[in-house]
Structure 1
């Protein structure tokens, strides 16, 4: 039994460390927003694939939250950051080669209901979603893609090759696994190039008997629609827990945001828009309420927050973040019922015509950098007229949750739990 070694990775939210000015920013040095009216991003493009990628959006949100429920109990006190788009894309690429119960488990684990959504609809949705996310004219710089590094003896069926290239924009690259060091260098170089140097030396070692390494990457660089003022960033205390605090660079901005206070879950929700078609939803539980909010996370909660948000003026304090994370995707997917593909009973025969493949590893590396000029995305139309009275303050000085989503496709791109903004 040969092994497919699956590598899923993400590079990060906004790498803008040397950027000090965003064209069109009207904020004054006082930290207040000058009155201005912004036009919302339009959907007049009427992309052919709009309905097809929105059809798979509910499954994408469900998977994001179910995956989070798998990883957060095992990450006690640690940061969590992952890209559901990356993980789903990678395993749908695996699904091209799967049959029978192996295929059914993969689709079910990714939260697709085959009685409601056909495989053709899933393929069409993912294809058009990736086209939308990778469009070169977007204000939000986002690139995602895949690569199949294959051994010489591992001949993919032509139909699979065509689908991998057409549906997933996948590169198919020959690799000499008999020389593991050469193959490691080749794959790491590809990853480093595609993630703009943010993820290096991801693959540490390879089995000479490897059949294929599947890599998926996501890279995002975004600018806040209303950036924070560098001059107002100050050192502030961030409470990791009741016993531990760290000093962080706390950004500050007085302005209008879509916000909501959930009395039932005792948390504040703030949406911060990017330039472009994305937004970041920050969820700040009250002290001692993080676990309660985590346990309640589900599609209904997010729909309630979306419907309840109102445009309000607040004093927003948000810490700068720089972190790397790693997650065992195999362990999480086994918890979601995707088991057979990792065993000798796996049926991945559509890849080669022979049922002699299984996945040996699946892991996810991620990098996140949040600062004054960018990192997130938002879908709000904001009209800001600042009154003279002091607004309420929302201070992210304790652990919080974060979801970045494309608001046209209505799919989550990244999800995070920030326990310590400065932990590497």
Structure 2
């Protein structure tokens, strides 16, 4: 009988504009993830490790999104594909034979295009770039292994998860489940700045290791919304039903693209720093067509086609979350062996057969004007009236839409979601 490896994937995605936290850089110093110096001249080269894994990570993001949609197309979706990819790539360091092949295939890595070592060097590079404390956005990503006192990890595995994934290895007493659970919950609460509390309600009795991956993100719009013009408005759930939401407004120039083929508007709303977001608004009745076309090539075309144009933009304030059974979703994507008694994770520990018993993922996102700091120093812009021909289009996100948060430094899809009801209670 295999012992249980509880793989726990955590994300806190905060897109709220608020006061800068002073403890963020302190926490990064504790993490001890090295970052690159300001001279990024080498980033011009196409052979950089993070550049090589970006297409595979994008493929995985859109495949996983479509799998979530199959489960329930009428609910809000929000998750971090990068968090899930990172956790399973890290686990693959200890996988062998068919278990390893399934993981690579499920994560969209083709070993004819890159070597196994290049995958891990790619994630190592991503972690270095994301955790750079000089960035204008608050962005922190890390990994931890909680290991039972009785479990002896192979030194090679421990070296690799530490060197490539900067994972913390924390000794825990899983013979005392309440104590181990309390310790893990406390770690999660700290790393997510108190936003995810008491995630674990119980641990399976044979659990010997818990792997945690987390991302914390807090971005500030380059062009904040003026909270004085936010007002109640209708958000159309479908042809017959609507809910009241707080709708934000802007009348400025944005990078936009009208995709006639897919019948949708694409609006880029950038953050300060090197992170941006894409909001995609399909025409009435075309959401499924749009979702079916979600591929890295589609998003690449949108980004290349963006043009700056003045628009009237309506965007709802919202706070949504998603909780996912990653084991169930990946099994439907063909990754089955790692969760079964046939799992070959013989590269993880000495004399212990392991399988993954659970894999969970939780993500939350808040979108607002720009928080308490800017509300105290409201700026009202006045512009002369002019007769513009043609008038700026009004792009109103008052019906279900998609969103992505993209890190420009690594070309990584940090977060992805579908907002079908901004007023829905969190999971």
Same-fold call, TM cutoff 0.5: yes
Instruction: Name the SS of the counterpart of 1:136 in structure 2.
Output: coil
Counterpart contact for 2:17–2:369, Cα < 8 Å? no
- 1: distance between equivalents of 2:107 and 2:132? 25
Query: Equivalent residue for 2:137?
Result: 140
Q: Give the one of 166, 169, 183 matched to 1:169.
A: 166
Q: Give 1:120 deviation, angstroms.
A: 1.1
Query: Equivalent residue for 2:106?
Result: 109
Instruction: Name the SS of the counterpart of 1:156 in structure 2.
Output: coil
Q: Give the one of 77, 80, 85 matched to 2:82.
A: 85
- 2: distance between equivalents of 1:12 and 1:102? 30
Q: Give 1:243 deviation, angstroms.
A: 2.6
Counterpart contact for 1:17–1:371, Cα < 8 Å? no
Q: Give 1:323 deviation, angstroms.
A: 1.5
- For 1:272-283, what aligned pairs fall within 5 Å after superposition? 272-283=269-280
Query: Equivalent residue for 1:188?
Result: 185
Query: Equivalent residue for 1:379?
Result: none
* Post-superposition CA distance 1:18-63 (Å, at most 9, x none): 68xxxxxxxxxxxxxxxxxxxxxxx962256972101111111101
Q: Give 1:280 deviation, angstroms.
A: 0.3
Query: Equivalent residue for 1:380?
Result: none
Query: Equivalent residue for 1:306?
Result: 303
After TM superposition, where is structure 1 displaced by more than 4 Å over at least 4 residues in a row? Answer: 47-50
- 2: distance between equivalents of 1:183 and 1:308? 51
Query: Equivalent residue for 1:262?
Result: 259
Query: Equivalent residue for 1:100?
Result: 97
Q: Is 2:237 the partner of 1:240?
A: yes
Unaligned runs of 5+ residues in structure 1 are 20-42, 375-384
Query: Equivalent residue for 1:9?
Result: 10
- 1: distance between equivalents of 2:42 and 2:142? 20
Counterpart contact for 1:179–1:208, Cα < 8 Å? no
- 1: distance between equivalents of 2:104 and 2:351? 21
Counterpart contact for 1:240–1:399, Cα < 8 Å? yes
Instruction: Name the SS of the counterpart of 2:146 in structure 1.
Output: strand
- 2: distance between equivalents of 1:83 and 1:186? 24
Q: Give the one of 54, 58, 65 matched to 2:55.
A: 58
- For 1:288-303, what aligned pairs fall within 5 Å after superposition? 288-303=285-300
* Post-superposition CA distance 1:392-416 (Å, at most 9, x none): 1100000000011011211110000
Q: Give the one of 216, 220, 244 matched to 2:217.
A: 220
Q: Give 1:265 deviation, angstroms.
A: 1.1
Counterpart contact for 2:99–2:343, Cα < 8 Å? yes
- 2: distance between equivalents of 1:273 and 1:315? 16
Query: Equivalent residue for 1:201?
Result: 198
Coordinate RMSD, CA, aligned: 1.8
Q: Is 2:41 the partner of 1:46?
A: yes
Q: Give the one of 229, 237, 242 matched to 2:226.
A: 229
- TM, length-normalised to structure 2: 0.88
